[in-house]
């Protein structure tokens, strides 16, 4: 099974959790023989107390995650299915084939490799119930998409903390629901974008485009999507995504301009070379 990782935020009571889950197993039956759930929980208090800054804490935890993953893969061919990051702890979860690894062996490795407090257990979970618990619900799936989009923007050089018009697309089954939603959203400070195009769908033929002037940091976008998802509750409509213009620094704009110029020149050269090859072939003896 190919790994396919999704990241989202989940609220459980008063606790905020950041979840990373391998959604590559979603919709499939649990792999044969992988009937045991392995958990390792790291207490973050002692790590922070002995580290000088947050960056150092992150480096230590990333090193532990990498070592644990490689050791479990090599030792027990374990399947890494996700982690939960909360304010006070970091939890790693794997599935094992029954009897592949003992709790004592895991405990000994942790004592040798990790200087701080960590708890661990191995227990039966043949139906992968905990994995189903980790999978995102409909709202959390939107958060997964948000994280992917914002990561792509950062990778392209977007200054995500800089405000801009952020557009959101909504779709409705009935026009009266769209009209009532327009009035509600205007009271909430949204701009109704009458001039923006939106493609209706057969089951949702009434689109609505709205906007807010704000940044596109993950916390901002997730809060906005959560709000719109809540406002849609009880109406026969659905949220259909968001988008915005990129905000690049001067250096990134210049690099993007140069890259496009280079790609255009390479494309032109390929066309010229292709035509030259074609003419050369036509001039060869025996060619018609």
Report the CATH number that the domain containing residue 183 is assigned in CATH.
3.30.70.970
Same domain, 11 and 95: yes
Whether 128 and 148 share a structural domain: no
Q: What pLDDT does 256 receive?
A: 56
Q: At what angle do helices 103-113 and 54-76 cross, to 10 degrees?
A: 140
Q: Give the pLDDT score at 174.
A: 94
Residues 145 and 202 reside in one and the same domain: yes
Instruction: Tell me, yes or no, whether 100 and 191 share the same domain.
Output: no
Nearest alpha-carbon partner for 169 in 148, 193, 151, 140: 193
Indicate whether 98 and 172 sit together in one domain: no
Compute the distance between CA of residue 245 and CA of residue 196 in angstroms, rounded to an integer.
Answer: 14
The residue ranges of the chain whose pLDDT is under 50 are 254, 277, 280, 282-288
* Same domain (yes/no): 198, 121: no
- Residue 98 shares a structural domain with residue 127: yes
For the chain, the domain total comes to 2
Q: Which residues contact 236 (CB under 8 A, 6 or more apart)?
A: 172, 173, 174, 177
Q: Which of 105, 115, 131, 3 is nearest to 61 (CA)?
A: 115
Q: Are residues 30 and 105 in the same domain?
A: yes
The pTM of this model reads: 0.79
Note the pLDDT tens digit of each residue in 132-162.
Answer: 999 999 999 999 999 999 999 999 999 999 9
Contact 194, 185 (CB under 8 A): no
Amino acid 167: pLDDT: 96
- Structural domain including 110 reads 5-134
pLDDT value for 14: 86
Together in a domain, 158 and 232:
yes
Cβ atoms of residues 96 and 78 within 8 Å: yes
Examine the domain organization and report whether 108 and 145 are in the same domain.
no
In a domain, 251, yes or no: no
């Amino acid at each position: 099974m190919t790994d396919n990782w999704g990241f989202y935020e989940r609220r459980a009571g008063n606790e905020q959790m950041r979840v990373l889950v391998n959604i590559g197993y979603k919709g499939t039956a649990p792999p044969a023989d992988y009937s045991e759930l392995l958990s390792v929980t790291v207490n973050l208090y002692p790590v922070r107390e002995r580290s000088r800054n947050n960056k150092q804490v992150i480096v230590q935890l990333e090193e532990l995650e990498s070592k644990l993953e490689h050791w479990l893969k090599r030792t027990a061919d374990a399947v890494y299915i996700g982690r939960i990051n909360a304010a006070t702890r970091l939890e790693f979860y794997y599935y094992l084939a029954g009897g592949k690894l003992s709790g004592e062996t895991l405990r000994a490795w942790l004592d040798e490799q990790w200087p701080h407090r960590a708890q661990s257990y191995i227990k039966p979970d043949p139906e992968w119930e905990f994995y189903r618990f980790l999978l995102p619900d409909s709202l959390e799936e939107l958060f997964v998409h948000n994280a992917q989009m914002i990561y792509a923007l950062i990778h392209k050089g977007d200054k995500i903390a800089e405000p801009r018009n952020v557009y959101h697309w909504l779709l409705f089954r009935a026009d009266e629901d769209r009209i009532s939603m327009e009035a509600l959203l205007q009271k909430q400070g949204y701009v109704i974008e009458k001039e923006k195009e939106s493609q209706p769908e057969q089951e949702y033929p009434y689109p609505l485009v709205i906007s807010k002037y704000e940044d596109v940091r993950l916390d901002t976008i997730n809060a906005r999507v959560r709000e719109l998802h809540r406002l849609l509750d009880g109406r026969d409509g659905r949220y259909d995504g968001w988008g915005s213009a990129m905000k690049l620094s001067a250096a990134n704009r210049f690099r993007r301009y140069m890259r496009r110029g280079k790609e255009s020149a390479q494309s032109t050269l390929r066309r010229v070379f292709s035509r030259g090859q074609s003419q050369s072939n036509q001039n060869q003896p025996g060619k018609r």
